[in-house]
Amino acid sequence: MNTLLFYGISAGLARIFGMFCALLFCVTCSNGGSGDGLIPVGRAYSPDPNLPRPKNVILLIGDGMGYNHVVASSVYRYGSDDARPYGSFPIQLAMTTYPAGGHYRAADMWADFDWAISGVMTDSAAAGTAMSTGSKTIVGRIGMDPSGNPLTHVIQIARLSGKATAVVTSVEIYNATPAAFTAHSLSRNSYKDISSEMINVCGVDVIMGTGHPYYDNNGNERLDANLNPAPDYEGFYEADYTAVAAGLKGFTFIDSLSDFEDLADGTMTPPARLFGLARVADCLQCRRAGTSAIPFFDPSISTVPTLATLALGALNLVSRNPEGFFIMIEGGGIDRMSHLNHLARTIEEMMNFEDAVTAVITWVEANSSWEETLLIITADHETGYLWGSGSGRPAVFNPIGTNGAGTLPDMVFYSTGHSNSLVPVYIRGYGAQQLLPYADKTDPVRGRYLDNAELGEFLKWAVDDLDEELP
Ligand SMILES: [Zn+2]
């Protein structure tokens, strides 16, 4: 049976199963919590613990990537909204992102343009923690519940199951999203404690991203007045950084472009564990100098790898584990450029992220298969409240308008912060159907949706090897 047909049938069966579960839920739920669009407190569904699991799980997170970011990127690149590499995935759902104490109500969202930017909004710490642990927490919290109790990360479950694990990002390795998968902290701003836990405690096999103490936002060496190196240890205890860079923490350390490229193209035999720090401070590319309003017009930093290169290198390493792997890959610049309402660089960062998605899909089809690997593409939240021009109160939601490939689309940011909008979830591969029954509510615009903590529960199920005794 060909793969598409198989998934078509599977998705169809799962939808029927999902509808059955939804019906069951309505019958058994005493408070009728799903009727008004509010997420009920208790959850109605979890996958059968006896179902076989995927060997490999790949989670791609576009930080701040809402539906309209996806549309804007697509119409800029292709001139239309139907050519995305993941646009043909058989299962596409929506997801709520609010933190502990928040809520999403579809009727309110679509009745008032400002509703989604007026209430309680999440951040990458709380949303990342929900996806990593299956538990809601408050804004700013990393891997801890609202009371400060540590939560179990999906990476901890994956490691107990014998899998290799990795976090890869286009921003600082100690920033909220990778931190939410590897660390526990009362504050996302405790960078040094977070990186210390990642290096010394977590046990993750691959850490890749930016935050290099010796380089600035343009990839130039930080030098003092006498032209001596002047590192900025914003994100590391100096002793941790010095030891990890010397290869003394159990990681092989790389930071040169050629090493990242050799690892990605197979020229370099992957080491057992790897700490890869691109030679730049903030984003791989998004904070570089330049003021152009045209995507990719400002010259790129030539000494740093792309997110796609990082992702391929990490996959080449973790895929050597016969028990499989879990990897989280983040496009972190989408959020940053959307906070700035920077149209051109938001498009750039979307395209850099989607290049990584394409590289991962190609890697799965060349080196693995959809029969053993599960791929999820989603976002932690939407940033910038991006809509077409002319949108606004009371309830005008104009779509992103295309101006043809290569020309910025009609797109306007209506906020400099995060919004409470639903975000998209694209999923393909072994076990994907098991996510469907979680999506037991329906938004009139986005369709069936689940909650980000439910995605976290699902991920922990997906990496939980049935052979192992878990605590
Ligand atoms: Zn943000």
Domains defined along the chain, listed by start: 56-166+256-274+296-463 (3.40.720.10)
pTM over 0.85: yes
61 alpha carbon – ligand 1 mean position (Å):
13
Neighbours of 471 (CB within 10 A): 6
- Contact yes or no for 289/142 (Cβ under 8 A): no
Q: CB within 5 A of ion ligand 1: which residues?
A: 335
268 alpha carbon – ligand 1 mean position (Å):
35
> Residue 133: CB partners within 8 Å, gap ≥ 6?
143, 151, 152, 153, 154, 453, 456, 460
User: What local confidence, expressed as pLDDT, does residue 46 receive?
Assistant: 79
338 alpha carbon – ligand 1 mean position (Å):
8
Q: Please tell me what DSSP assigns to residue 456.
A: H
The count of C-alpha atoms lying within 13 angstroms of the C-alpha of 130, restricted to the half-sphere facing its C-beta, is 26
User: What local confidence, expressed as pLDDT, does residue 469 receive?
Assistant: 55
User: What local confidence, expressed as pLDDT, does residue 467 receive?
Assistant: 63
Whole-angstrom distance, CA of residue 294 vs CA of residue 355: 18
Token representation of residue 95? 């997801």
Q: Please tell me what DSSP assigns to residue 206.
A: E
User: What local confidence, expressed as pLDDT, does residue 398 receive?
Assistant: 98
User: What local confidence, expressed as pLDDT, does residue 401 receive?
Assistant: 96
Cis peptide before 394 (omega within 30 of 0): yes
- Contact yes or no for 70/387 (Cβ under 8 A): no
Q: What is the pLDDT along the chain (471 residues), one digit of tens a residue?
A: 333 333 333 333 333 333 333 333 332 222 323 333 344 444 567 787 788 899 999 999 999 999 999 999 999 999 998 888 899 999 999 999 999 999 999 999 999 999 999 999 999 999 999 999 999 999 999 999 999 999 999 999 999 999 999 999 999 999 999 999 999 999 999 999 999 999 999 999 999 999 999 999 999 999 999 999 999 999 999 999 999 999 999 999 999 999 999 999 999 999 999 999 999 999 999 999 999 999 999 999 999 999 999 999 999 999 999 999 999 999 999 999 999 999 999 999 999 999 999 999 999 999 999 999 999 999 999 999 999 999 999 999 999 999 999 999 999 999 999 999 999 999 999 999 999 999 999 999 999 999 999 999 999 999 998 665 555
Alpha-helix runs per DSSP H in 319-417: 333-339, 343-367
169 alpha carbon – ligand 1 mean position (Å):
15
126 alpha carbon – ligand 1 mean position (Å):
11
113 alpha carbon – ligand 1 mean position (Å):
20
Whole-angstrom distance, CA of residue 303 vs CA of residue 278: 8
298 alpha carbon – ligand 1 mean position (Å):
23
Neighbours of 183 (CB within 10 A): 27
User: What local confidence, expressed as pLDDT, does residue 410 receive?
Assistant: 97
- Contact yes or no for 459/155 (Cβ under 8 A): no
63 alpha carbon – ligand 1 mean position (Å):
7
Residues in the chain: 471
130 alpha carbon – ligand 1 mean position (Å):
16
